[in-house]
Structure 1
Amino acid sequence: MNAPIRNFPNDFPPDEAARWPDVARVPDGPTVALRSSAAAWLFRHASRRVDVRVEYPDGELSGLRSSGVQPRMIIRRPEAFARRVGADGLIGFGEAFMAGDWTTDDLVGVLTPFAARMARLIPRPLQILRSAVLPSQPRSEENTATNTRSNIARHYDLSNDLFATFLDDTMTYSSALFEGLTPGTRPPWSDLADGQRRKIDRLLDLAGVGPGSRVLEIGTGWGELCLRAAARGAVVRSVTLSVEQQQLARQRVSDAGFADRVTIDLLDYRQVDGEFDAVVSVEMIEAVGEKYWPVYFETLDRVLAPGGRVAIQAITMPHDRMSASRNTYTWVHKYIFPGGQLPSLRALDSVTRRHTDLRLVDVHAMGDHYAETLRLWRERFVGRHDDVVELGFDSTFTRMWEFYLAYSEAGFRSGYLDVHQLVFDRDRGQRDTR
């Protein structure tokens, strides 16, 4: 079941309001009033260009005129919605959903058309004001060696039981790779675990992992890659900054009988030493931060043995959008992944050429597979709402996570986001100093 719609603010429990102050409070003041008027106009202007039916309490309708069935976005509290968006942009848009200022029975259907036109929704002359009116990323969330552990803990240490409510038995929290996926197909839940194993096996193949391979994994997750590499006869060292993940991954490794082949350390990637025949990392680069991409790849280059390979899976975005949004503090930063930054393929190729002897030699895109992975997670999460509440998470949290999963799915369905498996090989030529 879905979390209930709030009749803000009367039914916002005091303890929940204390946990979510920026959701419980609607921004106020003369500056907000001015900006909310502009936000209301801009949203109406933008919504007329997307295939979504926007409904207001007074009966007004907005959205691209379409003869087909459109997803419905219901604005229940227009003033609160406009104030939030006016004060904080897309952060306010997400908080408005968390508060129930707007609702829908098709969240992905609403978000996907907006994501598809993300770069064109705001008139170009107003885009130059982005840095002046929107929040910047706080220094406390920069991914220094000091801050990174707390950034990781805010997401991955929420509760292993929480993640188990919507992940499959492999406890793999990244894109699966489905067999025979074609446009319009919807893999069933029963295919997800095999899709996750297929994704991992492909990455291990790309890195050349076999009997006796010395493997470094950066970002343990809950241990499935360790298990599958060890089953091939590899010796694995995996590092993570999540206490919860380390504990469960170690237990899974022990239960599988691979404790003699797998070591899982609570360690920052910058502190890794040793030499490895293969370095693998699944959707961890997104948590590094652009400032530290050179350090990340320099570390990989430093520990990679002669003849070794690096294989990573990375969520990417178009380079122009990465450049335009690199300093923007987003709803995802505030509530889901503090300190994160999605790279572009161009950026990853450039940083390795400038700072390492590694060269990008193979690219495999699989964004449509991530959209289906996220759909399955979202449907599972929503369907197990009561189980999530029993774990101690309130209704604001469940609405936040539903929005996060749908927001991510919409990004991949629209093509705004992609995910790639990438292989880096070592080039002993001159580094690019341009």
Structure 2
Amino acid sequence: MKLLSGLLRSFIKNGRMRVIDAAGELHEFGSGENGPTVTIRLHSKKLYTALFLNPELAAGEAYMDGSLTMEEGSTCYDFMFLFSINRAPLGAHPVQSLLRKSWKALRRYQQKNSVERAKAQARHHYDLSTDLYRLFLDDGLNYSCAYYRSEDDSLEAAQAQKLTHLVAKLDLQPDMRVLEIGGGWGSLAIRMAQAGAHVTSLNVSPEQVKIAEQRVKAAGVEDRVEFVLKDYREFEGQFDRIISVGMMEHVGIGHLDAYFGKIRDCLTDNGFAVVHSIGRMTPPGTTGPFIRKYIFPGGYVPALSEVFASTERLGLWVCDAEILRLHYYYTIRDWRIRFEERRADAAALYDDAFCRMWEFYLSAVELGFLHGSNMVFQLLLSKERDAVPILRDFMVDNERILNAAG
């Protein structure tokens, strides 16, 4: 416990952490000011070393298997909140600094996302039961950042606003051909088809495509939407518009050129693409070990410097960039609250360990958008400088028309 106590004493500067060790002895760290007081219990002496060496991974795994529990009314979210407001001092600790340097050195090895490996990694997350996602997503099963005009918007309203915002940016004209890279459960494809487009939607998750096809048929636009079970690198074609929402995060380090190269190759000369992705406002980094191991293997949130370096190498015009800073925080906040409310239903689908894993995941990612470096960006990309109108007004005008049409 000595090494772990030294680590906690060095980085808990805000709030207070109370730790009940395996022998029942209480240890307290932090002043209790500028943050919550959280009480945890460690049920195994083995955790002392594991938490000292790799707290992000070990804490998540211990919470999953029940060897770390929350006590005295504390919750997983409280624990993660306390961790998030003390991240800077933790990263400065010599052992943790060395650990992060080793992660960064290995990041390309960890993300050798071949076509088949990328498919398997995507299915790891997206081929879970759709009933699980129905517990906490909106009715349209949108599993990406919503667009909040106010932090008090309902999740349903914010997701509908996101779809409208994206369709407005596409500036669709009748019978345009649109390629969607990463189709999810079909809500955006339906929305684009309803706006008059012919949509080809790529997806590597058979579970998602099965549900998406049912939803497209129910919406009456099956003649305008085709789902293709292929990785983006396996596909060829020419399209007036390309849109990719919440997919670039799965491309991985070392594959951005292939991704943007496919967008360039599939665009007509006067076409353009809309790319919506999580990014970081800090220099290039790594994916946290818990998220990488249990949630999104192969996933990576790129820095804007990495994104723009790739578009420069590929000769693409970045015609517009919008940064959404707190929108995903509000989105995941709503997902987490809904998941907590339906936790018993999730446990019936899987088990308690799975629920604890998802509590840890949702809390960590939510707080990454509140206290960390994560944000969301939307880019408009083209091959020709005049493919996109020269004034941004068209987006606002289109959005106003779409909203008026209901």
TM-score tier, shorter chain, comes to 0.7 to 0.9
Q: TM-score, normalised by structure 2?
A: 0.86
**Shift of the alpha carbon at 1:208?**
1.8
Counterparts of 1:417 and 1:90, CA distance in 2: 17
Contact 1:52 1:110 in 2 (8 A): no
Q: How many residues align?
A: 379
**SS of structure 1 residue aligned to 2:6:** helix
Matched, 1:285 2:242: no
Distance 2:370 2:316 in 1: 31
Q: Partner residue of 1:59?
A: 26
Change beyond 3 A, Cα 1:38–1:405:
same
Q: Does 1:142 align with 2:109?
A: no
How far apart, CA to CA, are the structure 1 residues paired with 2:176 and 2:257? Answer: 26
Q: 1:197 aligns with which of 160, 179, 183?
A: 160
Contact 2:16 2:38 in 1 (8 A): yes
1:112 Cα deviation from its structure 2 partner: 3.3
Q: 2:342 aligns with which of 373, 381, 384?
A: 384
Cα deviation for residue 76 of structure 1 reads 3.4
Change (3 A) 1:51 1:424: farther
2-side partners of 1:374 and 1:414: how far apart?
Answer: 14
Contact map agreement 2:236 2:266 (CA 8 A) in 1: yes
1:238 and 2:201 are equivalent in the alignment? yes
Offset at residue 94 of structure 1 (A): 1.1
Q: Which residue matches 2:280? A: 317
Task: Give the match's secondary structure for 1:280.
Answer: strand
Residues 131/109 of structure 1: CA separation in 2 closer, same or farther (3 Å cut) = closer
Secondary structure at the counterpart of residue 380 of structure 1: helix
- Cα distance in 1 for partners of 2:262, 2:81 equals 37
CA contact (8 A) 1:311 1:424 kept: yes
Which residue does the alignment assign to 1:168?
Answer: 138
The Cα shift of 1:93 comes to 1.9
Q: Which amino acid aligns with 1:334?
A: K
- Equivalent of 1:118, from 87, 90, 106? 87
Equivalent position to 2:186, from 194, 203, 223: 223
Helix, strand or coil for the counterpart of 1:290?
Answer: coil
1:161 deviation in Å? 1.1
SS where residue 352 of structure 1 aligns?
helix
Matched, 1:81 2:73: no
Structure 1's unaligned 5+ residue stretches are: 1-35, 430-434
Q: Secondary structure at the match of 1:353?
A: helix
Cα distance, 1:410–1:398 mapped onto 2, change above 3 Å: same
Q: What residue in structure 2 maps to residue 158 of structure 1?
A: 128
2:292 is equivalent to residue 333 of structure 1:
yes
Helix, strand or coil for the counterpart of 2:340? helix
Counterpart AA for 1:103:
M
**Cα RMSD for the two superposed structures:** 2.5
Is contact 1:172-1:222 (8 Å) kept? yes
Question: Contact between 1:216 and 1:276, CA under 8 Å: does it hold in 2?
Answer: yes
Q: Distance in 1 between matches of 2:243 and 2:193?
A: 13
Distance verdict in 2 for CA 1:363–1:51, change over 3 Å: farther
Does the 8 Å contact 1:215/1:280 carry over to 2? Answer: yes
Distance in 2 (alpha carbons) for counterparts of 1:138 and 1:343: 13
Q: What 5-or-longer segments of structure 2 have no aligned partner?
A: 387-406
Give the drift of 1:268.
0.6
2:370 matched to 1:403? no
| Whole-Å separation in 1 of the counterparts to 2:2 and 2:384 | 55
Whether the 8 Å contact between 1:84 and 1:95 is mirrored in structure 2 is no
Change (3 A) 1:412 1:397: same
CA deviations over 1:39-80 (Å, ceiling 9, x no partner):
442133112x133433434232112431x6724142333734
| Partners of 2:107 and 2:64 in 1: CA distance | 21
Letter in 2 for 1:148: A
Match among 36, 45, 48 for residue 10 of structure 2: 45
Q: Which moved more, 1:52-61 or 1:145-154?
A: 52-61
Relative distance call for 1:380 and 1:80 in structure 2 (3 A) is farther
Cα distance change, pair 134–256 in 1 and its aligned pair in 2 (3 A):
closer
Q: Which residue of 1 aligns with 2:149?
A: 179
Q: Secondary structure of 2:36's match?
A: coil
Match of 1:353?
312
Which secondary structure does the structure 1 equivalent of 2:254 belong to?
A: helix
1:300 partnered with 2:263: yes
Change (3 A) 1:248 1:361: same
- The AA in structure 1 aligned to 2:51 is V
Deviation for aligned residue 1:151: 0.4
For residues 133 and 343 of structure 1, the distance between their equivalents in structure 2, rounded to whole angstroms, comes to 18
Q: Distance in 2 between matches of 1:280 and 1:129?
A: 39
Deviation at 1:275, TM superposition (A): 0.8
For 1:7, the equivalent position in structure 2 comes to none
Contact 1:141 1:147 in 2 (8 A): no
Tell me, yes or no, if the aligned pair for 2:108 and 2:254 is still in contact at 8 Å: no
d(CA) in 2 for partners of 1:91, 1:127:
12
Q: In 2 relative to 1, CA 180–137 (structure 1 residues): closer, same or farther, beyond 3 Å?
A: closer
**Aligned-partner residue type, residue 330 of structure 1:** P
Alpha-carbon deviation of 1:139?
Answer: 5.6
TM-score, normalized by length of structure 1?
Answer: 0.81
Match of 1:70 among 31, 36, 39: 36
SS at match of 1:211: coil
Structure 1 window deviating more from structure 2 (208-217 vs 230-239): it is 208-217
Does the 8 A contact of 2:10 with 2:93 survive in 1? no
- Greater shift, 250-259 or 234-243, is seen at 250-259
Q: How far is 1:223 from its partner? A: 0.2
Q: For the structure 1 residues 134 and 428, does the alpha-carbon distance in structure 2 shift closer, same or farther, using more than 3 Å as the test? A: closer
Query: 1:337-389: per-residue Cα shift (whole Å, max 9, x none)?
Result: 010111011211111101x1213232222231211111111111121122112
